[in-house]
Structure 1
């Protein structure tokens, strides 16, 4: 894969093996949470600027997929265990399942699906991000339904 340019990335993908309720106890569906997420040191961190869309991808055997949507709030900075990036995420009432994305023609080739053990952060193109938003649906649907 050639080096990413700012125009390549429509949405950053932050991966976790931990479910949202365990990341931030009390984080209810439809609610926002301000978090610092660990990322791998790479050139990609310079592209993760405040205001850019991002999402939380939960991997593993239990409900893998998109669990929250939001935006980058702070550029990467050194944390105790390595670099961290600040984000504000809204937890989805129902995750967008990995299987749904694999079945979607615009999303099936996303880096997070092709290389699930790859770098954190991962990214989505404009078409892939649009597919995620399409699967989330309008407000009052999967995004905020308790």
Structure 2
């Protein structure tokens, strides 16, 4: 895991990932684009999460089936809920997956000089949650629909 620690002073948005190679995210979100919760790994980051904080959904692992990158944006809807001992926690969300033409592709984000340094590129296998700094989230917003 990256040695950089997330602080609330420089948190732009949380970033949660879903692996499109393990789950058919395209079909799942075609049926219902709303995301009410997602699994996160317990740790200091989970303890920083608060209702109202921005959150970004990143689809990964699907170079062949579907273009991956930022698929949705929303907010943390409540405090993370502990799971079984040693297991993942559940993060309540108010997040909607964007229609396919509005999703921001990984290649575009990787080419952005601010976003190229995002943790999701430096540590792609890291557990949820990841994060974007204030500057990175501001840069991302330039690619998103109003």
Matched, 1:111 2:116: no
CA deviation string 1:17-57 (max 9, x = no partner) = 145444455225xxxx2421001111100111100000110
Cα distance between partner residues in 2 of 1:64 and 1:7: 29
Unaligned runs of 5+ in 2: none
Give the SS at the match of 2:143: helix
Distance 1:131 1:45, change over 3 A: same
Instruction: Find runs of 4+ consecutive structure 1 residues off by over 4 angstroms.
Output: none
Higher fraction of strand: 1
CA deviation string 1:101-123 (max 9, x = no partner) = 11111111000011110131000
Under a length normalisation based on structure 2, what TM-score does the superposition of the two structures give?
0.83
Q: CA RMSD in A?
A: 1.8
The 10-residue stretch of structure 1 (71-80 or 17-26) with the greater mean CA deviation from structure 2: 17-26
Give the SS at the match of 1:128: helix
Cα distance between partner residues in 2 of 1:57 and 1:84: 17
Under a length normalisation based on structure 1, what TM-score does the superposition of the two structures give?
0.83
The 10-residue stretch of structure 1 (57-66 or 72-81) with the greater mean CA deviation from structure 2: 72-81
In structure 2, the partner of 1:102 is 110
Cα distance between partner residues in 1 of 2:45 and 2:28: 24
Higher fraction of helix: 2
